[in-house]
Structure 1
Amino acid sequence: MSHEMHHFSMGLWVLFLAYAVSVIGSLVGLICVQHAMAAADRSVRWRLTACAALSIGGVAIWLMHFLGMTGFDIPGSAVRYDLSLTVLSMVLSVGATGFGLVVVGSRASWPGRGVRLVAAGVVMGLAVSAMHYTGMWAIRIRGSIDHEPTFVIASIVIGVVAATAALWFSQVAGRWYLRVPAALLMGVAVISLHYTGMAGVRVHVDPAAAPPVGVSVTQLLFPAFGLGMVVLGTAAVILLLTPSQADVELDEQITRWVSSPAEPEPAPVSRSV
């Protein structure tokens, strides 16, 4: 028999905060991707792609998940988390996002961009879904947790569609007025995956079981939130220090102008009187 549980025990503000963090992480990640696509230097592209993977995978997806979990409460049992599995879920999220961005952003001519987009979206969506359920696997309660297959399948489908859309947005949202709605939609997709999966959670409390062992969500959240802010701040600094394509072209024009030899002035023409 399923036991009572709450998803918003701390209030709906948790939902809005999680959504806001997901949108901000997505927006910073999209900006990093666009600068990476425009960069001619390979080291700059890799650096910006890494920032995008951390911003989207680490903040927009993973941090949003644990912000949402602050409202998860089970009357009659404490809720604890296994730290190693929690870290594994973060690695899955960041790694999957980085993989998808590298595949889609590849400048290779084969296979086609559409094929790369779909393949990367499927792999990234499956890995992000695995992140969610690895995070759920890390939960320790006085009893057991089950997931209804229908909601699991629905959340995985949402994950694949959301990942594919996120990768597509990363390629087309080149202008600022496209990045903002793209980030808003990505935040909706991430929130939808999370709460669709949570809708299928069923808990079974056993009063005779031993108290759960692990860290609480608040002990986990404050360091994670601080790390997420460091990631976003670092990405912002790197973006500010990375010259735009227009700056690079201007520097090249100035260099050519300075290095080009001055043309000799024409000799004066003598006139006979």
Structure 2
Amino acid sequence: MEGTVDGFRYGAVTPVAAYLMACLGGALGLRCIVRSLLNDQSWKPGWLALGAASIGSGIWTMHFIAMIGFQVEETRIRYDASLTVLSLAVAIAVVGIGVFIVGYRGAGTGNLALAGTVTGLGVAAMHYLGMYAMRLNGEINYDALTVTLSIVIAVVAASAALWAAVTIRGFLASLGASLVMGVAVSGMHYTAMAAVSVHVHGTSGSSWAGDSPSSLLLPMLLGPIIFLVLAGVVVMFDPLLVLGDGDWNRGTAHRRSAAARVEEPPAPRHSSVFDTPPAPVRARQHPYEASQRTGEW
């Protein structure tokens, strides 16, 4: 028999919370990528890795918060713990590949297309791997056309996010880009969930392997959420990201010029060997002293 699928068990609570987590992960990831590009002396691999982990954790957290609101009325749903953790690792690793491609090879059209495709496919793989971790008394089927559309949305969203990361510098602009990214990621998720139909084997209430959402998902979500909060603290207290590119450069230039005025000796008036140095200033002499040297009075 066909199961009754409901993706909004708790109304707007899970979609809104999932969207906010996607925005948070996207905002932190974009700012970390921007940080690696603003200053060549910064530790680029560290900032890119932090950005990839933030985006991947945000997408993964968004997915499973939304899945808390998913139910099939005729059967209980549980999750395989190992596959759930693997989906998080896949999200971070594949997003990291795309981020490092753009961070080191630049934002050319070819690089963005490659990085966006890899990242989008990784986001889709994370989603469907998380769906594969579901255990229920039935069989999950997918509509091929809707699945394809969800993958296209994931690739486009990832490409747009990476483009924004290497193009947009201002804080407000990055914030707006993260809000759009949250819409795209949420749209990809719910488009993919629209492709789902469940054929229930029966209503006998038999048990199967796995943990319930309340005993597995909620504790597992705490780790990525705490990580995102800590990443947010790192980003908030970094002076380059707080001041912005222009303000940082102006502040740095001002400090350098002040230090130069204090430490460096005054430069000579003539700056080239072809310039004529100023004539030395002679002391004013009494007429009698001058006459003693010339023999005249």
Q: Report if the CA contact (8 A) 2:3-2:74 is conserved.
A: no
TM-score by length of structure 1 reads: 0.88
Matched, 1:191 2:186: yes
CA contact (8 A) 2:79 2:211 kept: yes
Tell me: higher relative CO, structure 1 or 2? Use CA pairs within 8 A at least 6 residues apart. 1
The corresponding residue for 1:236 is 232
Q: Measure the CA separation in 2 of the matches of 1:78 and 1:25.
A: 30
Alpha-carbon offset, residue 216 of structure 1: 2.0
Deviations 1:101-138 (A, max 9, x none): 11011156xxx711000011111111110110000000
CA distance in 2: counterparts of 1:183 and 1:97, whole angstroms? 15
SS where residue 139 of structure 2 aligns? strand
Which position in structure 2 is the counterpart of 1:8?
A: 8
Q: How far apart are the structure 2 equivalents of 1:235 and 1:253? A: 33
Is residue 2:33 matched to residue 1:33?
yes
Larger Rg: 2
Query: Aligned in 2, Cα 1:209/1:220: closer, same or farther, shift over 3 Å?
Result: closer
- The CA distance in 1 between the partners of 2:206 and 2:253, in whole Å, is 66
Distance of 2:158 and 2:118 partners within structure 1: 9
Q: Is the 8 A contact 2:146 2:195 kept in 1?
A: yes
Write the mapping of 1:85-96 to structure 2, written as runs, cut at 5 A. 85-96=83-94
In structure 1, the residue matched to 2:292 is none
The alpha-carbon deviation at position 256 of structure 1 amounts to 4.5
Please report how far the alpha carbon of residue 222 of structure 1 lies from its aligned counterpart in structure 2 after TM superposition: 2.7
1:175 shift after superposition: 0.9
Report which stretch shifted further, 146-155 or 61-70: 146-155
Contact 1:151/1:196 (8 A) holds in 2: yes
CA distance in 1, matches of 2:228, 2:116: 24
Higher mean C-alpha displacement, 21-30 vs 211-220: 211-220
Aligned residue identity for 2:23: V
Question: What does residue 148 of structure 1 align with?
Answer: 143
Alignment of 1:172-183 (within 5 A): 172-183=167-178
Are residue 162 (structure 1) and residue 168 (structure 2) matched? no
Change (3 A) 1:272 1:223: farther
C-alpha displacement of 1:47? 1.5
Aligned equivalents of 1:143, 1:209: Cα separation in 2: 11
In structure 2, how many angstroms separate the alpha carbons of the residues matched to 1:127 and 1:213? 27
Letter matched to residue 76 of structure 1? E
**Percent identity of the aligned residues?**
36
Distance 1:135 1:241, change over 3 A: same
Aligned partner of 2:207 in structure 1 is 211
Q: For 1:240 and 1:176, how far apart are their aligned partners in 2? A: 11
Question: Kindly tell me: are residues 272 and 232 of structure 1, through their superposed partners in 2, closer, same or farther at Cα, counting changes over 3 Å?
Answer: farther
Q: 1:68 aligns with which of 56, 66, 69?
A: 66
User: Which stretches in structure 2 are left out of the alignment for 5+ residues?
Assistant: 241-247, 269-279, 287-297
Q: Structure 2 vs 1, CA of residues 40 and 86 (structure 1 numbering), >3 Å: closer, same or farther? A: same
Does structure 2 retain, via aligned residues, the 8 Å contact 1:83–1:214? yes
**Among candidates 123, 129, 135, match of residue 124 of structure 2:** 129
Structure 1 residue 258, shift from structure 2 partner: 4.9
Alignment root-mean-square deviation, CA: 2.5
Distance in 1, matches of 2:132 and 2:225, equals 26
Is 1:271 paired with 2:284?
yes
Q: Distance in 1 between matches of 2:3 and 2:157?
A: 31
Deviation of 1:190 (Å) = 0.4
Structure 1 residue 257, shift from structure 2 partner: 4.7
Q: Secondary structure at the match of 1:204?
A: strand
Query: 1:54 is matched with which residue?
Result: 53
> What stretches of structure 1 of length at least 5 have no aligned partner?
none
